[in-house]
Amino acid sequence: MRLFIAVNFDDETKERIKAVQDRLRAVSRGSFTHTDNFHLTLVFIGEVHPNQVASIRQAMDDTAGAPTELTFDHTGCFRRDGGDIWWIGLKRNVVLEKLHHDLSDKLTAQGFNLQDRQFKPHVTLARRVVPEREVDRSSLLGDPFATGVSAISLMKSEHIQGKLTYTEIYRKKL
């Protein structure tokens, strides 16, 4: 099974993210993330055997965390051949950064081989994006907005009837 640890959002936050996505959709074409799949990945774990889930849950339980507020304050893209990945990004948050690093350290200590890349917290709006005209990133965002975070989730990623689906299999309150 393919797993990751994420911050999930309430419906109001998803609607605000969708509004940003809709502004991007109006000026481009691509593969747009379904609203139900909006999340912020803290740690991508990858393919694991089902008997490893208990170790991941233990790492989550052993990681100290506190509720925090995330502020969405910019948009951006990762350049890719065949279309870019567009996202909405967050104002720097040291609580979130510490949570990411602590989870990564605990999972690595348990033998998980995690990707070694810089943590850049974001929510993916669309993949394979090809703008049809100039994209004004400041108007794409609109006004910055915030949301509270009081839990993290272990998520399973799978294709169900041709649709990418993320299912929460464990939740830890912060």
- 7-52 per-position pLDDT tens digit: 999 999 999 999 999 999 999 999 999 999 999 999 999 999 999 9
Which of 64 and 97 is assigned the larger pLDDT? 97
| Alpha carbons 100 and 86: distance in angstroms, whole number | 22
Nearest to 21 by CA among 166, 122, 150: 122
Instruction: Share the mean pLDDT of the chain.
Output: 95
Q: What is the pLDDT of residue 172?
A: 97
Structural domains of the chain, with CATH: 2-173 (3.90.1140.10)
Percent of the chain surpassing pLDDT 70: 100
Q: What's the whole-number mean pLDDT along residues 131-141?
A: 85
Which secondary-structure segment (H or E) carries 167? strand 163-173
| Alpha carbons 55 and 110: distance in angstroms, whole number | 7
